[in-house]
Structure 1
Amino acid sequence: MISEKGKRKLIYKDQLFYWFVKLDEDYDIPYLHIISDDKQLCLVYRVNQISDEFIHPKIGVLKSDKMKKGLYCFFSPIADEFISTHNVRAILNWHEQQDENLDPIEVRVPTNPFEDIDFKDGYVTHIETDFSRDSLREDMLQVIYPKGYLLDVGWYGASEGFIVSIIKDQDWENPIRKTRKSIFNLNEAVVKSIEIIGKLMMDK
């Protein structure tokens, strides 16, 4: 159902589109919705993805005559803390340029998000491989890196999810990076954290 509150109009290539930002009902996360006037195109985009350096921005295609329904990586990152017609046009441009044979990202609950991760120069001191609900705990993963860096992942309940932290010199009160993730994007966040740690070690 389309919310009328805050709905705005945009003409793109001689077609009328409606766009609005609406909070997700489960997690109160703002999403940009873009819908064509004939309802043949419906796209969603989580607001403020660019500031999240742990994941690559993604767009959800709910309905399209051109693309398959699903989640896609957005390869034209734009400033998205505040949504404007500039963002909407950029997303519509992205949709226009995509190959109709492109397959969406496979979204499934991973059995073990840590599986097959290359921890590079890190030394794994603790790792959990059982992600069944009863086995989730605050200590899921700890990896020690040179120059005092540490990668930590813990489960903090359904409301918080998994928290990924990059710690320096055991300063747990002031993590260098910290993000909350679901099991669906935990693997991506951990892999990105390893890249961030690698860059930090090179810079100092």
Structure 2
Amino acid sequence: MIDLGYLHGTVTFNDLSTLDNVDVQDQLDALKEDLLQVQYPQNLLIDVGWYPEFCADGAFRVYVIQHEQWHSPCAQIHANSLQTLEQGLREAQATVERIIGNADHGTPPWTP
């Protein structure tokens, strides 16, 4: 089972946690395009899938998407193992926090 406690958004879909901490080749039947989706403020989300589905030559893809702009992700990370996937998820979380932080620390409008 995969721990996702370091992701600070709202998990809206999670089949990733059902994967065992073994080689991905030993669980190809569970590796599909829709594994995890986590929502954040400011229309941000982290999306994880295995591409191509069920294929031994595939890889995990982690996307950071804002405003449903799937054709232009804020970040796209590839991982070939569960260990590198965790690193990619942490990187995606950091990207989300940077985007939210930049928006939260923007210059407020000037008022007299």
Q: TM-score range by the shorter chain?
A: 0.7 to 0.9
Q: Once the two structures are superposed, what CA deviation does each residue of 1:66-119 show, in whole Å capped at 9, x if it has no partner?
A: xxxxxxxxxxxxxxxxxxxxxxxxxxxxxxxxxxxxxxxxxxxxxx3x414322
Q: How does 1:115-130 map to 2 (within 5 A)?
A: 115-120=3-8, 122-128=9-15, 129-130=17-18
User: Following the alignment from structure 1 to structure 2, what is the Cα–Cα distance between the partners of residues 192 and 179?
Assistant: 8
**Structure 1 unpaired stretches of 5+:** 1-111
Partner of 1:143: 38
Which amino acid is 2:47 matched to? D
- Greater helix fraction, Structure 1 or Structure 2: 2
Larger Rg: 1
Partner of 1:203: 102
Which amino acid is 1:145 matched to? Y
Number of aligned residue pairs: give it.
91
User: Following the alignment from structure 1 to structure 2, what is the Cα–Cα distance between the partners of residues 149 and 199?
Assistant: 12
Partner of 1:156: 51
**Structure 2 unpaired stretches of 5+:** 20-26, 104-112
Q: 1:125 to 1:116 in 2, by over 3 A?
A: closer
Please, what is the CA RMSD of the aligned residues? 1.4
Query: What TM-score, normalized to structure 2?
Result: 0.74
Moved over 6 A (4+): none
Query: What TM-score, normalized to structure 1?
Result: 0.42
User: Following the alignment from structure 1 to structure 2, what is the Cα–Cα distance between the partners of residues 138 and 203?
Assistant: 30
If asked which structure has higher relative contact order (CA below 8 Å, sep 6+), I would say 2
